[in-house]
Amino acid sequence: MSFARGRELVLTPGPSVMPDRVLRAMQRPAPNIYEGELVEITDSILRDLGRLAGTAGETALYVSNGHGVWEAALSNLFGPGDAIVALASGTFGHGWADTGRVMGLDVEVLEFGRHAPVDPRALSERLKEDTAHRIKGILVVHADTSSSVRNDVPRLRQAIDDVGHPALLLVDCIASFCCDVYEMDDWGVDVTVTACQKGLMTPPGLAYVMFNGKAAAIARANPVRSPYWNWSPRTQPERFYERFCGTAPTHLLYAQREALDMIAEEGRAAIFKRHALLARAVWAAVVAWSSDGPLRCNIEDPEFRSHAVTTILADPHDMLQLRRWCEDEAGLILGLGLGFLVPEFMEGKSVFRIGHMGHLNPPMLLGALATIDSGLKALDIPHGRGAVEAAAVVTATIS
Ligand SMILES: *Cc1c(COP(=O)(O)O)cnc(C)c1O
């Protein structure tokens, strides 16, 4: 018998929970796509996005998912044979590197495994060897959604500056945007990529690239930019449709505008606080579970854990069964063990993820943790007691 009635709760790390207000904002007829309100809405979205990223640079909007803006950023700045270094602490770091490789870039991956952040000293050491300054860009994922690690971007900038290397710093903030504190200009980031379906609470299909003056100048000098990814017409359009290289994604713009209104009402600082608190509630539950049994957070040091998603290891238990139980019996959808597809982790089956990004409050999260706790009991997976209590103690500190 299944109790999966009521509203289904999707806590995968994206697409995140879509607020009713955002869904309702799309219930409109087709607009004029050449002039009027849509132009103003788009301008305001770009302005707000830049502000949320903490940049005075430019923002280009793409009808795309996150993979698209990986390619957009690379294709504006680099050409075949150009050397870049990708810092990998999870699947998404490798994904961005692979995109560059297929584009013909000379990609070198510095590998930091699945359980730890990128080490800034290793970057310094590598850049020191590059006395001819062949390396043109450094790619890093702020919060890698597979491992749930959060990398220390200011320390990476410092590592680049310490050796006086001119390479651009490109950061993937797709999972962390509006979840983890991010200050593009203050942190010395040259290019930021993000997408709408995670902390930005909008159905998938819009993605953004923010870039500063240094990156803009390098892109202008690039002779082989692709017509679709070229960010110049998108940021300096002569006609409105150049913002999208074609038809505007009309209803996603309505949705994104509404989500940004919700973000403005709550405030950036409050959003970061809420995500930090909800993340700590998840970690407190995992600590309680871990007191008697296999469950533990993949990233040991809380300093390097994302506030948007938590990856949980349960070697050697089959967490696919737990995810199935939560989904089929209770209507809770959890994330799978992405990036752990090796026998050591039962081909990913001993790993699961809880997404805690975007439109989420304590009853949703505490309900999810209690449901997981029930699943562990129903399936006889060993676990310590008191996880929900421990999470409630954390959420009690809201003030
Ligand atoms: C989700 C995600 C991506 C990929 O985004 P898609 O929209 O699925 O293409 C890339 N990087 C990170 C860190 C992500 O979380």
* Residue-wise pLDDT tens digits, 369-388: 999 999 999 999 999 999 99
215 lines ligand 1 (CB under 6 A): no
Ligand 1 atom 15 nearest Cα:
175
Q: What is the pLDDT of residues 152-179, one digit of tens each?
A: 999 999 999 999 999 999 999 999 999 9
The predicted structure's pLDDT at residue 309: 98
**C-alpha 352 – ligand 1 centre gap (Å):** 17
Which are the contacts of 69, defined by CB distance < 8 A and separation ≥ 6?
A: 62, 174, 193, 194, 195, 207, 208, 209
Chain-centroid distance of CA 329 in Å reads: 29
Euclidean distance between CA atoms 170 and 86, whole angstroms: 9
The predicted structure's pLDDT at residue 202: 98
Q: Taking the CB of residue 283, how many other CB atoms lie within 10 A of it?
A: 19
Give the model's confidence band at 290: pLDDT under 50 very low, under 70 low, under 90 confident, else very high. Answer: very high
175 lines ligand 1 (CB under 6 A): yes
67 lines ligand 1 (CB under 6 A): yes
Pick from 62, 126, 133, 72: nearest CA to 99: 72
The predicted structure's pLDDT at residue 225: 84
Domain ranges of the chain: 9-16+268-395, 31-264
Region 197-219: mean pLDDT is 98
Pocket test of ligand 1: the residue of 139, 149, 171, 174 to mutate, having most ligand atoms within 8 Å of its CB, is 174
Residue 61, sorted as left (phi over 0), alpha (psi -120 to 50) or beta, turns out to be: beta
Domain 31-264, classified CATH 3.40.50.150, yes or no? no
98 lines ligand 1 (CB under 6 A): no
Q: What is the pLDDT of residues 84-113, one digit of tens each?
A: 999 999 999 999 999 999 999 999 999 999
14 lines ligand 1 (CB under 6 A): yes
The predicted structure's pLDDT at residue 399: 77
Ligand 1 atom 8 nearest Cα:
66
The predicted structure's pLDDT at residue 186: 98
CB 121 within 8 A of CB 97: no
Pocket test of ligand 1: the residue of 92, 98, 180, 194 to mutate, having most ligand atoms within 8 Å of its CB, is 92
Q: What is the pLDDT of residues 41-91, one digit of tens each?
A: 999 999 999 999 999 999 999 999 999 999 999 999 999 999 999 999 999
The predicted structure's pLDDT at residue 98: 98
Ligand 1 atom 10 nearest Cα:
66
**C-alpha 40 – ligand 1 centre gap (Å):** 28
% residues pLDDT > 90 (the chain): 98
Euclidean distance between CA atoms 146 and 309, whole angstroms: 9
Ligand 1 atom 4 nearest Cα:
66
CB 150 within 8 A of CB 304: yes
Q: Taking the CB of residue 271, how many other CB atoms lie within 10 A of it?
A: 18
172 lines ligand 1 (CB under 6 A): yes
The predicted structure's pLDDT at residue 224: 78
Give the model's confidence band at 223: pLDDT under 50 very low, under 70 low, under 90 confident, else very high. Answer: confident
CB 57 within 8 A of CB 214: no
Superfamily of domain 9-16+268-395: Aspartate Aminotransferase, domain 1 (3.90.1150.10)
CB 104 within 8 A of CB 75: no
Q: What is the pLDDT of residues 335-357, one digit of tens each?
A: 999 999 999 999 999 999 999 99
Q: Which atom from ligand 1 is nearest to the alpha carbon of 92?
A: 11
